[in-house]
A and B are shown apart, each in its own frame.
Chain A
Amino acid sequence: MKTILVVDDSPDVITSLKIGLEDISGMYKILGAENGQKCLEMLKNNIIPDIIFLDIMMPQMSGWEVFDRIKENPSWNSIPIIFLTARTDRVAKNAGSFLGDDYVEKPFNIADLKKRIENVLNNKNTTKPLVDKKKT
């Protein structure tokens, strides 16, 4: 069973993913972090998920910052990251698709999300790309 860490400042989003992906399908285990710090703490505590869902617009520490920290750390930087974003502008779209492994626009639906998770996991298993396209 794959573990998914959802980083989002809205607990309802975490809950609905938990229901949709963990309870209903039973294929994934959902972990939640309400902000960037919590996410990084969990990683430091050696809780390494298979995929991270990362919200961009969060108070205090933005998704970009969290992304940078994860990618800076060699033991974490192979974790695939899917951006969850409410932003529709070009920056978000480009960053989501080029920087991360994928991006999903809110509000999403479970079916679409599942498809993307599968994609990312498959890619990771076959090619294991070292995502390091980060541009400062």
Chain B
Amino acid sequence: MEIPTFFWFVLSLFIISLSLSLFYLFLKDRDLRKIIFTLGLLPSVFTFLYLGVKYPPIVHPENTLWYFLFRWGTIPVLLSIFVILVDRLFYRKKDFRLPFFLFLFFYFLSFILVFSNIINQIIYLYSLQFGALLIIILSIILTIKVRLFSNLLFLLSICCFTIGGVAINFYMNEPEHFSNTAFALFSFFLGYIFLALIFGYNILVRDEEKDGLGVYFSFEKKLKKVEEALYDSEQRYRQVVENLNEGIWVLDDNTKTTYVNSYITQLLGYTTNEMTGKHLFEFMDGNWKKFTEEKLKYALDDVGTEYEFEFLRKNNTRVYTSVRVSQLLDGKGKYIGILAGVQDISDRKRMQSELLEKLDKLQKSDLATLNIMEDLQNTIGALTTAETQIREKNQELQQINNELLSAREELTILNQNLEKRVTARTADVEKLLKQKDEFIDQLGHDLKTPLTPLNVLLPIVKEREQDPKLKEILGVIFNNVTYMKNLVIKTLTLAQLNSPNAHVQLKDVDLSMQIRDILDMEKPLFQDKNIIFENNIPTETIVQGDVLQIRELFDNLISNSVKYTPQDEVRITFDAKPMDDFIVVSVKDTGVGLESDQIQRVFDEFYKADYSRHDLQSTGLGLTICKRIVEKHGGRMWVESQGKGKGSTFFFTLKSHIKTSGE
């Protein structure tokens, strides 16, 4: 056996073991990159075996299977290296299936192309050389970009393969020169040793973190780990930012939204997707846009400046915020956007305006609180100037609120006291009124008993007395006793009418009949005057009333008319007309009449029309009693008179009998 043949066989074995090692690696981590190498390196065995078997080489070989395998065997190597380089340089994705299938496609395409013998020797050689050159260039770029020792080794191994390929070409043309053979063998050995160093290290040394010979494949893992770590840390920061109790709004250099956290989306009512890419101005309206434009100019120079903005929500409501702006710079200090911290201050604003409103109300409503108001207003003034110190302001607001509350409490207490005092005073008054009524009642009754003997005995004495002078004196005494008696009786009647406990007992009363009864009874009392009664009240005029009180009412009216008619002839006319639910009763006399000022006072207690206090006929209570009785019945009483000497007409209303009430 020739020496070169032996070495070609050794090289083949070496390649087979290297391929199997890579296949083993593939089985371990299922990384398709490794199977690419396995598939790429194995066909080169055919090339080397051919070179070994056909030694010395046939210059113009016949188209045998061996020859085609020899020619094809070098292509997969170049293809696999190319794919890996492109992946390392440009693709760098975890999922390697697409490059792998492309690799397989070209793998079999090249196989078909070679075996169909379409391409001639020259095109084949040029393609190989072009491919080798491309790979070298890519490898150089990779080595420069990622300065790893493994990449350098990779470059070296590719260089060796290229040189080996060129050497084989020489050797094929001039097989008689042994140096060509040796050079080719040497180059290939060296190239595969470099490759083996890269891959072998990965199998033998497990330390994947180290930048060593085995870093080529481990680099991918490392990258993956770094990526994961980055991802984790980003996730962590994202979580922190998302859950911040402050809005984070990141804008790019065109003031378009690149990131917002959930605080912002919740505040404005948009989703993250709706906001991303939108210009900041889309979240505010006219005036605020101008304001913001102005501020943005300064924001680029300032760091950490704070502004108050009003944003427009999705539902078109407004929200007042405090915004802290800082610029974002990239690693080289270039401006790439704005980072804004947003705080919702609408509550604060609202509190402020509510407070002002409350103050305004208080100021309007109560003069008593004016002093407090002024104090408060001063405090408010101080507040508005201290806008920047939020915490302080909030505290002050709280304080003012407390002051307000205590002021209000004071007011409430004052009010309560006032109410208490009013209630107490009312009770006092009521108590006094009750005492007055009780006193009058007691006094009246106490006076009645001693008046009885006087009333009984004086007429007897007067009758028996023969002396006319004494008789006259006794007459005067008796008149006074009678006056006193009347006064007592009327006062008691009035006291009872005034008492809230006295209720009228309503029954059907036939007015016409009552008048007739009264007239029959009263006639003897007015014997010294010629009294003409005219009763125009229609029969069966039924009113609802208390019989005793209605009699009292007519009694008083009649005696009043008789008293205030100086002439001997008195004409009293009774009449009644229905009006709605009431009957209007009129009692007209031909007496002295009333002046307009008297009309107003005639119903007052103890008022006497002629001011003659010595008139023993009048107690000054009769008409008061009348009015009180009518009022107790739910009616109204008034008087009309044409003037002095023209008589007067008293009117009063009483509820008419309602037939439907079932009586």
Contact = CB atoms under 8 A, between A and B. Distances in A.
Contact of A20 (B450, B460, B505, B548): B460
Given A57-B445, A88-B489, A88-B496, A107 B452 contact: yes
Contacts of A12: 450, 452-453
A89 B451 CA distance: 18
B478 to A, nearest CB: 10
Contact of A109 (B450, B459, B492, B548): B459
The interface centre, meaning the residue of B453, B455, B492 with most chain A CB atoms within 10 A of its CB, is B453
B456 interface: yes
Interface residues of A, number: 22
Given A86-B448, A88-B493, A109 B453 contact: no
B571 interface: no
A24 B453 contact: no
B492 to A, nearest CB: 5
Interface in B419-463: 444-446, 448-457, 459-460
A86 B449 contact: yes
A122 interface: no
Given A19-B456, A19-B457, A88-B496, A106 B548 contact: no
Contacts of B448: 86, 105-107
A52 interface: no
Contacts of A106: 448-449, 451-452
Interface string A26-50: 0000000000000000000000000
Contacts of B456: 16-17, 19-20, 107-110
B475 to A, nearest CB: 15
A105 B448 CA distance: 9
B485 interface: yes
Contacts of A69: none
A13 B456 CA distance: 9
Given A20-B460, A110-B460, A10 B489 contact: no
Contacts of A10: 449-450, 452-453
A77 interface: no
B492 A107 contact: no
A88 B454 CA distance: 19
Given A12-B450, A87-B445, A109 B496 contact: no
B549 to A, nearest CB: 10
Nearest to A9: B449
Interface in A41-86: 57, 86
Nearest to A24: B460
Interface string B484-525: 010001001100100000000100000000000000000000
A3 interface: no
A10 B451 CA distance: 11
A110 B459 contact: yes
Overall SS of chain B's interface: helix
A15 B450 CA distance: 12
A88 B492 contact: yes
A50 B260 CA distance: 116
Interface in B133-151: none
A13 B548 CA distance: 27
Nearest to A13: B452
A93 B502 CA distance: 14
Contact of B548 (A15, A19, A93): A93
Contacts of A89: 496
A93 B489 CA distance: 14
B460 A108 contact: no
A15 B457 CA distance: 9
Contacts of B505: 90
A12 B458 CA distance: 13
The interface centre, meaning the residue of B446, B455, B485 with most chain A CB atoms within 10 A of its CB, is B455
Nearest to B484: A107
Contacts of A24: 460
Contacts of A13: 449, 452-453
Contacts of A88: 444, 489, 492-493, 496
A16 B489 contact: no
Nearest to A12: B453
A20 B460 CA distance: 7
B632 to A, nearest CB: 13
The interface centre, meaning the residue of A88, A108, A109 with most chain B CB atoms within 10 A of its CB, is A88
B563 to A, nearest CB: 20
A16 B453 contact: yes
Contacts of B451: 106-107
Contacts of A20: 456-457, 460
A10 B452 CA distance: 10
Contact of A108 (B444, B446, B452, B493): B452
Interface in A108-129: 108-110
Contacts of B459: 109-110
Interface string B604-644: 00000000000000000000000000000000000000000
B454 A107 contact: yes
Interface of B: 444-446, 448-457, 459-460, 485, 489, 492-493, 496, 505, 548
Interface of A: 10, 12-13, 15-17, 19-20, 24, 57, 86-90, 93, 105-110
Given A88-B489, A107-B451, A110-B459, 9 more contacts: A10-B452, A12-B452, A13-B452, A19-B456, A88-B493, A90-B505, A107-B454, A108-B455, A109-B456
Query: Which 6 A-B pairs give the minimum distances between C-beta atoms?
Result: A16-B453, A86-B448, A107-B451, A107-B455, A16-B456, A107-B452
6 contacts: A16-B456, A19-B456, A24-B460, A57-B445, A90-B548, A93-B548
